[in-house]
């Protein structure tokens, strides 16, 4: 949300996450807080079902966000 607010009208962009090789690739249209919260809840539910290792959570979350933003 902060990136979108600071870069209003630019559309898209990348956010780097420490210890993760790939950046989060933001969609061209801004995401709302409820949309981001829904994606987060879906990821948490998926993580409970598959129990990811703590070492991989950041990387898998970035991949999950990128796949959701492409929809």
Whole-angstrom distance, CA of residue 10 vs CA of residue 63 = 22
Angle at 60 between CA 57 and CA 62, to 5 degrees: 105
Please name every residue paired with 25 in a beta bridge, in sequence order, or none if there are none: 14
pTM assigned to the model: 0.80
Instruction: Give the contacts of 46 (CB within 8 A, at least 6 positions apart).
Output: 64
pLDDT confidence of residue 56? 87
Domain ranges of the chain: 2-69
Q: What is the pLDDT of residues 2-29, one digit of tens each?
A: 877 787 777 788 889 999 999 999 888 8
């Amino acid at each position: 949300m902060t990136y979108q607010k600071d870069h209003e009208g630019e559309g898209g962009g990348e956010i780097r996450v420490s210890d993760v090789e790939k950046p989060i690739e933001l969609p061209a249209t801004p995401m709302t807080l409820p949309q981001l919260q829904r994606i987060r809840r879906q990821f948490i539910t998926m993580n409970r079902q598959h129990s990811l290792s703590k070492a991989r959570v950041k990387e898998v979350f970035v991949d999950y966000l990128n796949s959701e933003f492409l929809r």
